[in-house]
Structure 1
Amino acid sequence: MILVIGGAGYIGSHLVKELVVSKKVIVLDNLSTGHLSAIDNRAVFVEGDLGDRKFLDEIFTQYPIDAVMHFAANSLVGESVIDPCKYYQNNVASTLTLLEVMLKHNVKKFIFSSTAATYGIPNVHIINEDTITNPINPYGQSKLMIEKILADFSKAYNLEYVIFRYFNAAGAFESAEIGEKHYPETHLIPLVLQHLLGKREQIAIFGSDYDTPDGTCIRDYIHVTDLARAHILGLEALLDNKVSTETYNLGNGLGFSVKEVIETCEKVTGIKANIALSDRRDGDPARLVASSEKVFNQLGWKAKYQLEDIIKSAWKWHEDEKF
């Protein structure tokens, strides 16, 4: 049985949808940002807090857990700067509690959802796994701390893990049963689509004078289903003892500018956006694009969906939100 922490959240719920096809799954979520209706009914659901040691101990005692996949984290960069305690408590301290309980019950296979925020503002054109990590906010710091803890735990306790650092997850499940819904929403594609649906008066572009072809920031967008399938490949490799301590980037290797994303949203929907140009935001690098060469070579994973596919699936979801 596979324990999915944060399986009611955006990425976690899409992972569960794919994973229940081949595995028995138990979802643990406190529903602080996740949605109960997003959890596949083929999975067992337990509501509780990741930092509750007694509760975790009960779960590991009751269920025969073979591996843990961890998606639960606070992930708003701006909030992490204002309230770092929240991020270090939930993202780091609670995860440490989870790892301790895992070891107590001799569960030593772990998939960790990390982030491109661990790289900070890299000075390279394409980011690979050897690019220096230098996070510039508590959110990125909290994720990198866990990465370092995992490395130490591997040496000391033989914990085996796969870390996935990914960039801009987007899109929705093919059937539009589940999709992306955050409070507050901070991601570009859902913000644009909400605007085109009349839920927002305009869409802001923060900075139009970057050193990029059209002057706007370039980011790496990846379909959430592609992400889910990568995690399953990583899980299978761990369970089959083909990997033990690996870190992979997940991206499309191309990158799209803010203007390109808005234009593609306009193309998919047939609706013209009302754009407002604003000043740059502090800490926004001009370009963040990942190399996925390593994960392709070792796990055979490659992004299937392109930007227009991502936006089409997201639009289908946003037109008829299920929760």
Structure 2
Amino acid sequence: MAFTAADVKNLREMTGVGMMDCKKALVEADGDIQKAVEWLREKGMAASAKKASRVAAEGMAYATVVDGVGVVVEVNAETDFVGKNEKFVEFVKNIAAMVATTNPADLDALMASKYMDTDLTVTQQQQEMVLVIGENIKIRRFARFADGVSVPYIHAGGKIGVLVNLAVTGEADAEAIGKDVAMQIAALNPRFWDKSEVTQDILDEEKHIMLAQMENDPKMAAKPEKVKVGIVSGKLNKFFSENCLLQQDFVKDSSLTIEKYIAAAGKGAVTFTSAVRFEKGEGIEKVESNFAEEIASMVK
């Protein structure tokens, strides 16, 4: 029975096993997915395969700089407790170091590469971590800045990881500036870095909402259209200041925007380029469970 790339993807999602191992399993099982799952379990991947279906929404977001290369990664586990485990933290830091030094094209390339000074792939080492720690563990995502000056910031022991990238000329010290900006990003989580990134369709939607709100307000509905347009223009400036990093008020000094703070502190020699903010578990639907009911069900 032939199989497709979609079958390999499905088997990987079912088991948490690497792409190459999934492909080999399907070859051995003549394309039968259930037999492929059994084959993987027979080869010693049973424990990690069983745990791979469990939701991993905790873990750690981690940012660092290795030999001038900035990296931020998110590695998930099932519980916050494991996120503090020394072996887990070491694994996360090693993954970040690998991203910095090997520059993988994407997550699949990272998972297929050799893990540190071993003969194991990253996928296989991840499976080893599952067996050692006893929870589902997944490397979820990473980002990397090779150019400019990168400044990392880790909030609340790995709840949020931020990596700020700056263009620096001359001898300007960007570390303090980068940390201040990173802390702002961690705290306020802006939708955009600069107002120039806000697309016209988003602006049109905001204008529509604002005008609709005025139409539903008896005091505003009777005002001339020109006045309404002026009010909308003012509200859009507020939208930028609330949603765009560079236009936001600097948390440490509200008399400055972030853009003006960088210009003043960096004496014109530091420019914000980009940033990445990872919050552990964001976008992952967590399973809510009643611990007492779970224990009761186990002893029935």
- TM-score with structure 1 setting the length: 0.25
User: Which one has a bigger Cα radius of gyration?
Assistant: 2
- TM-score with structure 2 setting the length: 0.26
Greater fraction helix: 2
